[in-house]
Amino acid sequence: MSIDKIQEEIVEEFALFDDWMQKYEYLIELGKSLPLIDEQYKIDDNIIKGCQSRVWLHADIEGNKVVYTADSDAILTKGLIALMIRTLSDQKPDDIVNADMSFIDQIGLKEHLSPTRANGLLSMIKQMKFYALAMQAKDQF
């Protein structure tokens, strides 16, 4: 499924929720249910530091696609990571680099992506795109 299509799906899912509490409960659910990263990759080299919560991110190439795994010590952050991975993982590097992540705004969770929130999420998106960019470059040589 294309990145746009997945994002549309997520926006539709969130439209079912009446208030923030249901959204947060859903995020917490997502955060709890997903085994996100292999323990061997949960190392300092893969850490994206925010002052509020920490995020670990790992990228693999499978065929012509990038597959991400990630984790966080905060559950809300983990839930949001699950959404990012659902959107960007298993996609082509070109599409990842050009992906518009403004759907986070549409589902009313923009505040978690504010640069001042310092939870590592914004840096995580940058890092995801950076990995994709690196793989794109590798393809060209």
Partner 1 sequence: MGTEILSFDVEKIREQFPVLNQRVNGYPLVYFDNAATSQKPRAVIDAISEYYQTINSNVHRGVHHLSQLATDAYEKAREKVQLHINARHTHEIIFTKGTTDSINLVASGFRDLIKEGDEIIISALEHHSNIVPWQMLCEKIRAKLKVIPFNDMGELIQEEYDKLLSEKTRLVAFNHISNALGTINPAKEMIAKAHAAGAAVLIDGAQAIPHMAVDVQDLNADFYAFSSHKMFGPTGVGILYGKEKWLEKLPPYQGGGEMIKTVSFKKTTYAGLPHKFEAGTPNIEAGIVLGVAVDFLQEIGLENIAAYEQELLEYGTQRLMEFDFMRIIGQAENKASVISFLMGDLHPYDVGSIVDKLGIALRTGHHCAQPIMDGFNIPGTLRASFSFYNTKGETDRMIEALKKAKMMLS
Instruction: Give contact residues for partner 1 (rule: CB under 8 A).
Output: 20-21, 24-25, 28, 51-54, 73-77, 112, 118-119
CA distance linking residue 1 with residue 127, whole number of Å: 22
Give the catalytic positions in this structure. Answer: 51
Q: Which residue's CB is nearer to partner 1, number 107 or number 132?
A: 107
Smallest distance, Å, CB 96 to partner 1?
26
Q: Is 27 helix (H, G, I), strand (E, B) or coil?
A: helix
Distance of CA 24 to the CA centre of its chain: 16
On the 0-12 / 13-18 / 19+ scale of CB atoms within 10 A, 103 is: buried
Q: How many CA atoms lie within 13 A of 77 on its CB side?
A: 25
CA distance linking residue 27 with residue 78, whole number of Å: 8
